[in-house]
Amino acid sequence: MSPDSPPPPPGPDGRGQGRLGGEQGWPKWMVWVLLGVVLLALFLPQLVQRSSGTEISYGEFIDKLQAQQVQDATFNNSNGNISGTLTDGTEFHATGPVKPPDGDLDLMAKQDVKFETPTTGLLEQVLPLIIFFGLIVLFFAWMQRRASSQMGGIMSIGRSRAKTYSTERPGTTFADVAGYEGVKQEITEVVDFLKHPERFSEIGARIPKGVLLVGPPGTGKTLIARAVAGEAGVPFLSVTGSDFMEMFVGVGASRVRDLFQSARKMGRAIIFIDEIDSIGRKRGAGLGGGHDEREQTLNQMLAEMDGFEVSAGIVMMAATNRPDILDPALLRPGRFDRQVVVPLPELEDRRRILDVHVRHKKIAPDVDLDLVARGTPGMSGADLANLVNEAALFAVREGAEQIHARHFDMARDRVVMGQRRESMALSDEEKEAIAYHEAGHAVCAAVLPTADPLHKVTIIPSGMALGVTMQLPEEDRHIYRQDYIEDSLVVRMGGRIAEELVFGVISTGANNDLVGATELARKMVREWGMSARVGPMAWGSQGQVFLGEDLMHTRDYSDDTARVIDEEVERILREQEERCRTILTENRKGLDLVARALLEHETIDGAEVTRLIELARDRAAPTPPADETSDDAAEADAPVGSPHASVPPGAG
């Protein structure tokens, strides 16, 4: 096969067609047709011969002989067949014994019955034997072929299971990959080299042998590889890391060899291995030792990529979301020269990804994709595709002909908060506690200067939460300042402190808030150096991926340092708790207004929360003294938020 020749067309199982059923082999029905023709040639003459004339019994034939009603007859000594003509001109045939009784023989002789012994030809004598032994030979040949096919399946277990894609099957292209311009630039460079190698060889440039796509799950690493398969003018071999592993020892290494041999036969080719971390883990980290099947597979891959033999014209691509566990020998230059990071999409990238996913959907004019993109920070491409699909499902459930903005809001709530549990029965006391809890979060988020803007607050149970306070950042954040983190702690404490101020007791509703706040404060002390007492030191715990790498993992600081860390974590949490208590005490009237608005409407947006807080502040502001105003008039103009006035129920 020449390097430019296309691979053979795949069969139903993805491989080339075999002889049986192909262009070079006989179809199965041809054997049965030949067998039927032979049997028909043998038995048809006898059937035709027996079918002529009237069928009579042997006794009737003897009676007619005695009555002299037989004009002429012929007796066959080999099979006992009798045929002839009666005196009335009727033809007949009968079947008698091969050796009739002596009396019947004498009667036949008197009536001039002819006795004949037909001579059979050599073909007629040998052909039944040939057919019989031929059927036996065909049976054993079929059994041997079946056994050899089963044995061939066992022997072919070491062959690669990679799927080959050519230019006739483009599938996905770079037009389907939105955003990630830097990633596509590096990948396009590899494709251009394989298409036009002379452009790079003129100045002595060498294309990287391997490109490793690294990024969180759902960011489109496999999608980019499929786009390369569609854009490349060379064969594209795709395989997953788990395809190399089997229950037999040595199968993985054999499949790696077969994969690279197939690529070398194609000349220039791209090999893509998805989830390479399943076979590329660090060697010597497990308990299996050097004879571990995974290590043998990895050793063979290292040798094929950049070993003694040079694999010219073969570019290897791989994708993983766990680059920290890969073997260092696999990541060195010469094997995977480049590590292309495919991060979570930024705001502009999310906007372009949404354009791709809404391309074939009916979108209403009130949908603002810029607002949807801003409201989905941290979502991957797969999450955005799921978001658009959920919005379409909500539109179908409502019977709408287009997807409206409210459907995107419902879909975002479904993805972020979980499914609504509207059938959950809550008592009035529980609803009031939940309302004040969420109002505490909302007031802190609306008042603090560096906190993310408040988007909406709801007390409708969703997922595992009884209420949700949602904040949406105005722009994507890449670093977090200490004041932002401290304000985030205050927002997390808001629900618990609100319950304490209003009801005098706390509940279990702040469980998730306390877990997140404690984890955040511990990171501030241990990893980010945000504690003056501990100093600029980091003791971040790096989780061990392998059991055998460090069975007896010990911390790298003393017990005294651990006590200091715990004390600093407690100090930070208590300080932010006091800040939260102060904020909610100063905005107590606003807290009441927001809670009562939640009890009335169940869901309010961030703008409404801000309006209620400002309304409470305006009511609590002192009225300037008036010289000509009577005491009664001054008392009548007292603000609603004064100590002598109560907040009207259902305000807001």
Please give the full DSSP string across 340-383, using - where no structure is assigned. Answer: EE-----HHHHHHHHHHHTTTS-B-TT--HHHHHHT-TT--HHH
SS3 216: coil
CA–CA separation, 348 vs 371, rounded Å? 11
Q: Cα(57)–Cα(11) distance, rounded to whole angstroms?
A: 61
Reading the block at residue 115, the tokens are: 């006795």
8 Å CB contact between 491 and 441:
yes
For 243, counting Cβ atoms within 10 Å of its Cβ (0-12 exposed, 13-18 middle, 19+ buried), the class is buried
Q: Which two tokens stand for residue 571?
A: 């100090």
Sheet with 454-458, edge to edge strand ranges: 468-471, 454-458, 603-605
User: Which is catalytic among the residues 231, 295, 432, 438?
Assistant: 438
Alpha carbon distances (Å) from 513 to 39, 53, 57, 465, 567: 87, 105, 105, 11, 20
Question: Catalytic residue at 432?
Answer: no
Could you tell me if residue 651 is left (phi over 0), alpha (psi between -120 and 50 degrees) or otherwise beta? beta
How far is 315 from 334, CA to CA, in rounded Å?
11
CB contact set of 168 (below 8 Å; sequence gap of 6+)? 6
- Distance, in Å, from the CA atom of 579 to the CA atom of 109, rounded to the nearest integer, reads 137
Give the closest residue to 594 by CA, choosing from 428, 448, 457, 445: 457
Tokens, residue 61: 């034939």
CA-nearest of 406, 391, 405, 416 to 468 is 416
Q: Which residues of 396-423 are buried (b: 16+ CB within 10 A; e: fewer)?
A: eeeeeeebbbbbbbbbbbbbbbeeeeee
What angle, rounded to 10 degrees, do the helices at 428-447 and 588-601 form?
130
The span from the CA of 364 to the CA of 355, in Å, is 14
Buried/exposed 270-298: b ≥16 CB within 10 Å, e otherwise: bbbbbbbbbbbbbbebeeeeeebbbbbbb
Looking at residue 64, its amino acid is K
Instruction: Specify burial of residue 46 (Cβ count, 10 A radius: 0-12, 13-18, 19+).
Output: exposed
> Is residue 242 within 8 Å of 285, Cβ to Cβ?
no
Q: Which two tokens stand for residue 617?
A: 């502040």
Catalytic residues, which ones?
A: 438
